Structure 1
């Protein structure tokens, strides 16, 4: 609990609208909720698994801008935003950008697969953080939470709650990070 308090205190003290590729100037629409950090935060190097049980870490995505979306199968706002995340990955995903979806908590793979099928999601990874090790280390208290990570693996911004990640405001923010 103390770690969460320290993390949230650090987040609130380092938030600055003029940081990280001037993302603050791009905050409009749903992106008004985006907290941009003056000093990027290190991301934890804790493992999570894919649908086969193979272990992964965020370090695998170094060199790319990452939109890490922490979600759950029972989360109604997650269901609303997931198709937009899938479309964003389909259009921007590649050598420079990756949407990484991470189901946190008790979300068995069959439920994740069913959720993706019902939502029409076909381009996103089915990563899982069942014991919430990574999400706790990142101070995630509710869902969904979306974290923007720069090419060096540092958290540069965070948005708590649902957002239209395939909309023009989000694309402007992500485009600025990719161009940086």
Structure 2
């Protein structure tokens, strides 16, 4: 079977993303905070410090426009919908729970290129691309790179864990945000229309590229894209 037919052509991805919104991806909204979904209420002084730090991080990332363009040029074929960040921005504060169930942020993965993917069990395109993401992590994951697949199902862990077990996912870590805060943070930034959402982030927590909709992540095109990010 031609695996290319399992995923929509790039021109159909926007429609798939919008369909994800209609299906309920943004059914839950939360109050925006300065640091992410795992933080407690900030004092005025602490909030000012955090805001200044975030501004400084964004300046560092904005200087990586050329790197983002190189990633955009490397996004071809099966991953052609991956668009260069314009401008690159810091996602170090993006917060969720790690495989151990404890709160963490993108900044905790400093030094590693990350392919961050938001998915849910009710999202058909998400379910379809999960084996490919697992294969990419199995082949390329390591000290310098990781696929961070964040499940955003509401409720407890029963349904997503059962799904992953049923389809034999063995290489991906179990990252989780059952509040949809991480999705709504990305939506506020204009990075998320529906599910799945995928972000390519460098070792300093800077967004280099993003896409809405599925892709064939086990393809040579995807591997070339990751190699380009690792070479920066």
TM normalised by structure 1 equals 0.84
Whichever structure has more helix as a proportion of its residues is 2
User: Larger % of strand: which?
Assistant: 1
- Are the structure 2 counterparts of residues 174 and 116 from structure 1 closer, same or farther at C-alpha, using a change threshold of 3 Å? same
Note if contact 1:59-1:153 (Cα within 8 Å) is conserved in structure 2. yes
| Alpha-carbon shift at residue 52 of structure 1 (Å) | 4.9
Moved over 4 A (4+): none
Counterpart in 1 of 2:124? 76
TM-score, structure 2 as length reference = 0.66
The alignment status of 1:168 with 2:220, answered yes or no, reads yes
- Give the total of aligned pairs: 167
After superposition, the Cα gap between the structure-2 partners of 1:44 and 1:65, relative to the gap in structure 1 and judged at 3 Å, is: closer
In structure 1, the partner of 2:74 is 26
The 5 Å alignment of 1:120-139 reads 120-139=168-187
Structure possessing the higher radius of gyration over alpha carbons:
2
1:59 to 107, 111, 120: 107
Q: Which 5+ residue runs of structure 2 have no aligned equivalent? A: 1-28, 33-61
Alpha-carbon distance in 1 for matches of 2:207, 2:220: 22
Structure 1 residue 158 corresponds to structure 2 residue 206? no
**How far off its partner does 1:20 sit?**
2.1
Residue 61 to residue 51, structure 1, CA distance change in 2 (3 Å)? closer
CA-to-partner distance for each residue in 1:113-136, whole Å, 9 max, x for gaps? Answer: 111112211111111111111221
8 Å CA contact 1:19, 1:38 repeated in 2 = no
